[in-house]
Every structure is written in C-alpha cells, then in structure tokens.
Structure 1
Amino acid sequence: MIYDEIRNISRYRGISSNLDVAIDFLEKTDLNSLPLGKTEILGDKVFANVMEAQAKDEKELSFEIHKKYMDIQIDIEGTELIFIGLDGFHEKEPFSPEKDFGSCTAEKSARLKMGPGRFVVCMAQEPHLPSAAANEDRRLKKCVIKVAVED
C-alpha cells in the first residue's frame, strides 16, 4: 500500500512501467473532467473507472482482493474511509480469475481517511475495503485506476 497526497504521486515512479503510465495520466488529467464509467489509458493494462456511490457502514462491506491489478483509489468529491487488511483473513467470496475479484474478512486492518487530494495504491493481492462512510455526508465521486501487474 502507498498512501499519500496526490501532489506527491511522482515520488512513486519506477515501481512498474504500468504504474508510471498511470502516474503520467494523473499528472496531466483533471479527474473532474472525466466522464462516468471507463476511460482507457493503455488498453487493458491501465484504465480509469469514475463512479458515483454512497459510502456505507464498514460492517456492510467486505475486503476485496485482486490479483491481476493494483488499484489507485482517489476521491474526487466526498470523503471515504478505506481499510487495508493486515492479518487474520477469512475468505467470503472465492476468488474469480475472470472477474479478478474475491472477498474476505480481516481481523486486523489499517484505516485510511481519504478525501480530495489524497490517494492510495492498493497492491495486487492486498485486501482492501473501500467506500466506508467517513462522516454523515455519504456521497462520493471517485476514480479507481486499474494498473495491471507486470509479469
């Protein structure tokens, strides 16, 4: 996991070439100008999903796991909590390679407060629980950039 302010994202260049493509995109793009839905950046290797959602109580959500992609999670409007699973994982929904998705619970986790100006990179195979309510106003507009793990 990488958790920082978006203005510092260039510090993380060199981890992978696909992540560098995503960083270039974020440095050049006003996320407010992106349409809802999918925006291709580098085919199926790097793409953005912009969505509107309602944050939920943490107990209503599950940790998700991806193996093919890292997630860069960014709040455009609103503020959410994102939890990163640290230990004590128990599978809920078996992992589907076709969907690149599985879910689990975690006995221990780190809590990150998001909001405009912050980002988190959830590494592949790192359980994360996004869209948890941070306050009374639960409206979110967010961008999730999917970054393929390189072989």
Structure 2
Amino acid sequence: MIVDTLANRHLYTKLHPRLASALAHLAETDFTAKAVGNYELDGKNLFVIVNDYETKPREVGPFEAHQQYIDVQYVVSGAEEFGYLPLADQTPSKPYYDKHDYAEFDFESNKQAAAFIPLKTGMFAIFFPGDIHMPGTFATPQKVRKVVIKVRI
C-alpha cells in the first residue's frame, strides 16, 4: 500500500507501466468536470471509475482485497479514512468473486489489526493484491468525490 500526493507520482511510475499511465491520467484530467461513471483507458487493462458518495462508519463496511487489479484511489474532493491491513492468515467472510475481482473480509474479525488512515483532497492510495482495505469511512458523514483507477497486473 502506498499513500501520497500526485506531486510525488514520479516515484511510483517504474512499479508497473500501467500504473504510470494511471497516475499520469489522474494528474492530467479535471475530474471535477467528469460525470460519475466508468471510463475505459485501455479496455479491461486500465479503466476509471468516477464516484460521488457519502462516507460511512467503519462498522458498516467490510474490508476487501483484489487479485487481478491494483486499485489507485484518488480523492478529488472531500475527505475519508480507509482501513488497511496486510493479507496474512485472514479468511474471507465472502469468497473471492472472480467476475468483480474481490473477496470480502469481516470488520469485526479484523478491526483490532487494522490501521485507519486519512485520505484528503489531492491524495491517492495504491492498493496491491495482498492489501486488504476498506475505503470510504469517516466518523461523521462526509461528501466525497473519488476516482478509482483499476490497473490489471
């Protein structure tokens, strides 16, 4: 997992060529003017999800992990926290669902091991397979516009 701002995106461009494209797209696009929805950049290899939502309490959402994609989550406006813990001996509460590339992990079973990290306007988080994460949380509801770029590994 990586948390940073777009000013430092150059530090991560050599990790994966499509990750470099994702970070460049975030830096070059005005997402305040984009409509909510999904946009392909390179078919199923690289695509963008623009979403507006209100954060939820930690206790409401499950953790998730992916196998086929890296998540690049960028906050355009607002603020949230995300829960994070490395995938180790956890057992999913819902098995891996190949079609949507995720497995869910129960909050109650993992809350003691999780760290909750703020993600504010202009910041991004990169979640690799093996990074269990719970995006979109905050103690009090907050309006957020966030872009998620899915990067096939």
Q: Give the structure-2-normalised TM-score.
A: 0.89
- Whether 2:88 is the aligned partner of 1:83: answer no
Identity %: 25
**For residue 148 of structure 1, what is the aligned residue in structure 2?**
152
In structure 1, what is the equivalent of residue 123 of structure 2? Answer: 118
Distance 1:22 1:138 in 2: 26
Q: How does 1:121-132 map to 2 (within 5 A)?
A: 121-132=126-137
The alignment status of 1:101 with 2:106, answered yes or no, reads no
Instruction: Calculate the TM-score normalised by the size of structure 1.
Output: 0.90
Letter in 1 for 2:125: V
The C-alpha deviation readout for 1:5-56, integer Å capped at 9, x for no partner, is 1221121111111111112212211221222111111111111101111111
Kept in 1: contact 2:53–2:144 (CA 8 A):
yes
Total equivalences in the alignment: 148
2:70 and 2:128 in contact (8 A); partners too: yes
RMSD: 1.5
Q: Which one has the bigger strand percentage?
A: 1
| Amino acid of the structure 1 residue aligned with 2:136 | S
Q: What residue identity is the alignment partner of 2:149?
A: I
For residue 91 of structure 2, give the secondary structure of its aligned residue in structure 1.
strand
Q: Quote the Cα distance in structure 2 between the aligned partners of 1:6 and 1:109.
A: 25
Structure 1 runs (4+) deviating above 6 angstroms are none
SS in 1 for 2:32: helix
Cα shift readout 1:60-113 (whole Å, capped 9, x = no counterpart): 011111111111111112111011113562311111111211101324122210
Give the superposition deviation at 1:125.
3.0
Cα distance between partner residues in 2 of 1:80 and 1:41: 26
- Could you tell me which amino acid in structure 2 is paired with residue 108 of structure 1? A
Corresponding residue SS for 2:90? strand
Matched, 1:31 2:48: no
